Amino acid sequence: MSRHTFEDKLKVIDLYLNKCNSYRETAKLMSATKSDIIKWVALYQKHGEKGLQPTYTNYSVKHHMYSICHLTQR
């Protein structure tokens, strides 16, 4: 799980793009790494806010077993 929320990432975008902070300055202000900032800015520029949304899903074991059984019965 990311320690930076969606809102944190939006703040990063604002600091970097609108306030003209450097990657390094933004990383220091947000307690992130420079590579995190570079990645988030690139995702935002390519996909907009949707690119900053978490993509992790947590499926139950029951769901995994159902999917495996369903796929193997074809």
Tell me if the pTM is above 0.75. Answer: no
Residue 37's pLDDT is what?
96
d(CA 13, CA 36): 11
d(CA 7, CA 13): 10
Residue 65's pLDDT is what?
82
Q: Are 27 and 34 in contact (CB under 8 A)?
A: yes
What average pLDDT does the structure give for the chain? 89
More confident residue, 10 or 61: 10
Give the long-range contacts of residues 21-26, CB within 8 A, separation 24 or more. Answer: none
d(CA 53, CA 49): 7
Residue 69's pLDDT is what?
85
By C-alpha distance, which of 54, 33, 55, 39 is closest to 13? 39
